[in-house]
Chains A and B, each alone.
Chain A
Amino acid sequence: MNESVTRALTTIARYTALSLLLAFFTLPLLWLAFAPFDRTPTIAASLPRFTLDNFRQLLENPQALRSLRNSALLAAGTGALVVVFSALAAYALSRVRLPGRDALLYVLLLLSSIVTGTAAMVPLFNLAFELGLIDEQLGVILVLGGGLLPSAVFILKDFMDGTPRSYEESARVFGASPLQIVRHVVVPLVRPGLATIAVWSVAQVWGNFLIPFLLLRSPEKSPAAVVMYTFYTEGGQPDLALIATFSLLYSLPVVLMFLFVSSRYGFRFHGGIKS
């Protein structure tokens, strides 16, 4: 009797705790889902008085759509850069014996968190200035790509290490050149890894505020994350209607990309090696 009461109380306590935790994470998402459709959005999540007026207003804002396009450009550019270079570097690091290879990787990994971090703001700005890359999207792509590459190389090297060498040796005996081996054999085999890297770098760039804020001057080149920062009413208050609607549009591409990639690459090839 006593025991079952204790057990019931424990269960209740556990579910209460879980519900509170769930609410903590759900409320912002509910706000994101409801506020864009609300006639008078506040910072509280509530059932909206339904309207699409906010979207119309957003589409009329010249900044909004252009900034999403800029975000896409930066993300795609950085993604392509990171995938291509990290794949080549990871393959080489995985296959060529290099003295101090592991130490090199760990040091790069350590430094990468500094490169795109706040600590390097001033040197980065100086460097970009000397190279004439201030207010150039290329500058942002290079800086972000440089910051992401070490981690990408690190992750991909693991994928490469996991693929048996005999695939490549087999292709070599048939006369394939190193680039052919990479294209025909290695890339298809590590495609899930490449997809992971691509999604991850796109998401990283999509959400990055600091670097484009630092390196881009003209509003027409700024990505969504920076432009959102400028959504104020004439009174200096944050324009909640605009911010909420824009946030929804801003998060959609990343969600869609994730769903697409996980349905497309959420599997691995297997079976060519008899174990």
Chain B
Amino acid sequence: MAAISLTGLTKVYPGDVTALDALDLEIRDGEFFALLGPSGCGKTTLLRTIAGLESATGGTVAIGEREVTALPPGRRDVAMVFQDYALFPHMTVRDNIGYPLKIRKTPAARRSAKAAEVAAELGLADYLARRPGQLSGGQQQRVALARAMACHPSVFLFDEPLSNLDARLRLEARTFLKRLQRELGVTTVFVTHDQAEALALADRIAVLEAGRIRQLGTPTEIYRRPANTFVASFIGSTPMNLLPGTVRGAWIRVGDALLPGPIGTDAAAALPDGAEVVYGIRPEYLRYTAQHAADVPGALPGRVTVIENLGSTQLLTLDPVAGGPPLQVTVPEDLPVTVGEPGYALPRPERVLIYRDGNLL
């Protein structure tokens, strides 16, 4: 149980590939923290640098009160669960879970008892004598968790903990993982490329791109107010519509249509008329209607080109009449829509975000 603080952390691989670029980050004690980003953004390198499997080329890593930048992984008091679990195939579940204790020279009897105790907590009591090859994917994952728990580390590091499970099991494991983390209260950092996983699990998220943190905040903050267009397009199961527009007083002109500016902030209104901005609105916060009075502003006319059934909702793709990039609208599953019909998208003003030069106003 310890906070993690990274200051100016830099990792440059041979060949001048910068994986981490002077990164500063404070992870609080007991926090469930997600490192989120597309592949190659440096999130796994960051996790491995905290673990000590990669050595930083600059900056420091501190866990709790201790500076651990120069310490080998084994002396940092962290436990890591690998994406492929890395259970030792020649050892039984009991020996796998007890392995960290074996390294610490715990007597065999105590080790075995401890392994049985942790295994029972994770519902693995019946599998102690089996080898990893005889377990299902979900069970293997729990063995990997049990092995990490057995040594009572002050920090857990998970590398893509759910990516090797099939879709159904993943949801189960997600709930399980969140409850487990609450109960143990151990500072946990996990890496994921799945924004839904990060939103669902984490207390706070750092969104990374090219070795830098693009936004740091709670899932709500990051979902509601993405700080820049990169985060905006990355977060959300259907990406945010980002439409180029120009300021017209309190309105934003997108194509031929005038759309409402955001409510609750006058940052956009302060811009001079004609300033170029990006109009951001999530598909969920657009209303769709087939009929709209032509002289009333606030609606973007278009034509439905694709309808995707998402179960409880439908996702419409609308090609604007005035040209420009298509936008997506979420509508209730019972709304009758046909491909090719003309329609209007109406933004909810309190959910509109305006970006200028890529950053949120």
Answer yes or no: B73 CB below 8 A from chain A CBs.
Answer: yes
Q: Are A174 and B131 touching (Cβ within 8 A)?
A: no
Pick the contact of B80: A170, A191, A269, A274 (CB < 8 A): A170
Name which of A40-48, A101-109, A161-169, A214-222 contacts chain B.
Answer: A161-169
Query: B269-288 interface mask toward A, CB cutoff 8 Å, 1 = contact, 0 = none?
Result: 00000000000000000000
Q: Are A271 and B133 touching (Cβ within 8 A)?
A: yes
Q: Are B140 and A174 touching (Cβ within 8 A)?
A: no
- In the assembled complex, the CB of A208 is this many whole angstroms from the nearest CB of chain B, namely 34
CA distance A3 to B172 in the complex (A): 67
Q: Which of B85, B86, B88, B104 has the most CB of A within 10 A?
A: B86
Answer yes or no: A120 CB below 8 A from chain B CBs.
Answer: no
Within 8 A of B (CB), among A258-274: 269-274
Q: Interface size class for chain B? A: 20 to 34
Answer yes or no: B39 CB below 8 A from chain A CBs.
Answer: no
Q: Are B133 and A173 touching (Cβ within 8 A)?
A: no
CA distance A164 to B85 in the complex (A): 11
Answer yes or no: B90 CB below 8 A from chain A CBs.
Answer: yes
Q: Which residues of B contact A173 (CB under 8 A)?
A: 51-53, 73-74, 78-80
Answer yes or no: B293 CB below 8 A from chain A CBs.
Answer: no
Answer yes or no: B324 CB below 8 A from chain A CBs.
Answer: no
Q: Which residues of A contact B247 (CB under 8 A)?
A: none
CA distance A180 to B74 in the complex (A): 12
Q: Are A175 and B75 touching (Cβ within 8 A)?
A: yes
Q: Are B86 and A166 touching (Cβ within 8 A)?
A: yes
Q: Which residues of B contact A188 (CB under 8 A)?
A: 88, 90
Which residue of A has the minimal Cβ distance to B76?
A173
Answer yes or no: A275 CB below 8 A from chain B CBs.
Answer: yes
Residues of A within 8 A of B (CB): 164, 166-167, 169-177, 180, 184-185, 188-189, 191, 269-275
17 pairs, CB–CB < 8 Å, chain A vs chain B: A166-B82, A167-B86, A170-B80, A172-B74, A173-B53, A173-B80, A174-B74, A175-B73, A176-B74, A177-B74, A180-B103, A185-B88, A188-B90, A272-B133, A273-B84, A273-B86, A273-B87
